[in-house]
Structure 1
Amino acid sequence: MSKKESTIFGIYPVKEAIKANVTFDKVFIQKDLASDKLEAIEKELETENISVSHVPIEKLNRLTKGNHQGIVAITSPITFKTIEEVVEESLEKKTPSLFIILDQISDVRNFGAIIRTAECTGVDAIIVQKKGGAPVSGDTVKTSAGAIFNVPICKVDHIKDAIFYLQASNIITIAASEKTKQTIYNTDLTRPMAIIMGSEGKGVSKSVLHLVDEQAALPLLGEINSLNVSVACGAILYETVRQRNL
């Protein structure tokens, strides 16, 4: 598994990368650019279940100084797993399943910090949405202190689908939310479960909150009404470790 990520740009280089089965993290195509060749590449990407984001040309110009021809692809330093794979692997273990679901976490430093803590606390896998989240890049590798190579990362089309699949596999889904009186300290964290952490600005989305089995909060005793998401995730994971090792 390669530990380097790189940027590939231009129509033909991206086409060759697809043929070579390169693992992509993000693919950006210029918005409102009429091109039969780009449309053909996008169809190829859809066939390979690789998500594409349509962005302004300014975004592409920031990603590369070269002639991008309307397309820039960011390769991934890891190979992603499917949700079926990670759930099956977790159920084969003697310990209760433990997953983290990240609902639109966009800051790569928070993402890396969560991965690092997840590795230290025995998380089976981290589940993220294909679009809208932080990239899996060299910065992620650095901020995770290399832990990303030890924790499976699973990408799904929609967080909701992941929740339904986990629930069907008898895995409890618990959203971290300040909108409940139930705290993590009076929540049973010894069960097979997935913890959902929300975005830095909005928290867990309302549509996701309606689907989860339970919600749990961290007590906040100061004036500030929220914690950094990576700090909150760490607190919940170590309470999980505490409960499971009583």
Structure 2
Amino acid sequence: MQNDTTIFGIRAIIEAIKSGENIDKLFLQKGLKGDLFSELEQLIRQERLNASYVPIEKLNKLSNKNHQGAIAQIAPITFYDLENLVLDVMESGKTPLFLLLDQLSDVRNFGAIIRTAECTGVSGIIIQKKGGAPVNGDTVKTSAGAIFKIPICKVDHIKDAVFYLQASGIKIIAATEKTSDLLYDVSFKEPCGIIMGSEGRGINPSVLSVVDAKAKLPILGEIESLNVSVACGAFLYEALRQRR
């Protein structure tokens, strides 16, 4: 059984996966057993899908349907392959500008960032399969439909995407407070990718250790940081300013 973005029930989810539905995220009941559930788990591993094991209370909060301990969210878009996207952008003749989101968790921030990215000519957005905000109806709404106009890639690990972009001649710039370099002192004119971290943790230290440059926004008030979607907008518009 399903609505426009959600599927409920073990058998229904198994059939959806087998038929090639674009599953974004699965929520499975902790401790659930049985042959059918084992078949679902095997399919999830085989297709390398993003699944979280949660208490039944979480599932009941997500849906009042007879979910049988399993709920799947369908992505409203088709995700791009990173290698194909980078190649397409390079061949287009435009200077690449990629945006990497390191496990951003708030769907409203995610949607707002997608909207700004589309408005500033970002070549593509790269997210991690696990640990980030879902791509669902709320994302569509907060992006004002921009999600349908900009390529989005899902990768196993952001760090792997960083290495691939660097090998393709794309400089990686991290938006982080852990630097003395201001945003306005860093060049965005050449092919580059900007990494934004999650709301609470920021950019993963292992990712931060392999970037080419770091930059921060000047903060004059007493609050130490900006909302991530606001900070992302400042970075993207500085890149646009430099390229005009």
TM-score (structure 1 length as normaliser): 0.95
Alignment partner, residue 189 of structure 1: 188
1: distance between equivalents of 2:88 and 2:64? 42
Alignment partner, residue 10 of structure 1: 9
Alignment partner, residue 25 of structure 1: 24
Residues 5 and 76 of structure 1 are in contact (CA less than 8 Å); yes or no, is this contact kept in structure 2?
no
2: distance between equivalents of 1:172 and 1:55? 39
Alignment partner, residue 114 of structure 2: 115
Computed over aligned residues only, the root mean square deviation of the Cα atoms, in angstroms, reads: 1.3
TM-score (structure 2 length as normaliser): 0.95
Residues 172 and 194 of structure 1 are in contact (CA less than 8 Å); yes or no, is this contact kept in structure 2?
yes
Aligned length: 242
2: distance between equivalents of 1:224 and 1:11? 46
2: distance between equivalents of 1:58 and 1:87? 42
Aligned-residue offset at 1:19: 2.4
Alignment partner, residue 175 of structure 1: 174
2: distance between equivalents of 1:76 and 1:122? 23
Q: Specify the SS of the correspondent of 2:67.
A: coil
Q: Counterpart of 1:42 in structure 2: which amino acid?
A: E
2: distance between equivalents of 1:98 and 1:43? 38
Residues 114 and 147 of structure 2 are in contact (CA less than 8 Å); yes or no, is this contact kept in structure 1?
yes
Gaps of 5+ in 2: none
1: distance between equivalents of 2:4 and 2:116? 22
Alignment partner, residue 53 of structure 2: 54
Q: Say whether 1:82 aligns with 2:81.
A: yes
Residues 182 and 217 of structure 1 are in contact (CA less than 8 Å); yes or no, is this contact kept in structure 2?
yes
Residues 105 and 111 of structure 1 are in contact (CA less than 8 Å); yes or no, is this contact kept in structure 2?
yes
Residues 11 and 36 of structure 2 are in contact (CA less than 8 Å); yes or no, is this contact kept in structure 1?
no
Gaps of 5+ in 1: none
Residues 180 and 217 of structure 1 are in contact (CA less than 8 Å); yes or no, is this contact kept in structure 2?
yes
Residues 5 and 137 of structure 1 are in contact (CA less than 8 Å); yes or no, is this contact kept in structure 2?
no
Q: Say whether 1:222 aligns with 2:218.
A: no
2: distance between equivalents of 1:91 and 1:42? 39
Residues 42 and 52 of structure 1 are in contact (CA less than 8 Å); yes or no, is this contact kept in structure 2?
no
Aligned-residue offset at 1:5: 4.3
Q: Specify the SS of the correspondent of 1:92.
A: helix
**Which aligned pairs between 1:32-47 and structure 2 lie closer than 5 A?**
32-47=31-46
Q: Counterpart of 2:135 in structure 1: which amino acid?
A: V
1: distance between equivalents of 2:191 and 2:34? 48
Residues 172 and 194 of structure 2 are in contact (CA less than 8 Å); yes or no, is this contact kept in structure 1?
yes
2: distance between equivalents of 1:31 and 1:80? 29
Q: Specify the SS of the correspondent of 1:119.
A: helix
Write the deviation string for residues 217-240 of structure 1: whole angstroms up to 9, x where unpaired. Answer: 111111111011000000110010
Aligned-residue offset at 1:11: 1.3
Q: Say whether 1:157 aligns with 2:123.
A: no
Q: Counterpart of 2:223 in structure 1: which amino acid?
A: I
Residues 8 and 73 of structure 1 are in contact (CA less than 8 Å); yes or no, is this contact kept in structure 2?
yes
Alignment partner, residue 132 of structure 1: 131
Q: Counterpart of 1:144 in structure 2: which amino acid?
A: S
After alignment, is 4-13 or 202-211 more displaced? 4-13
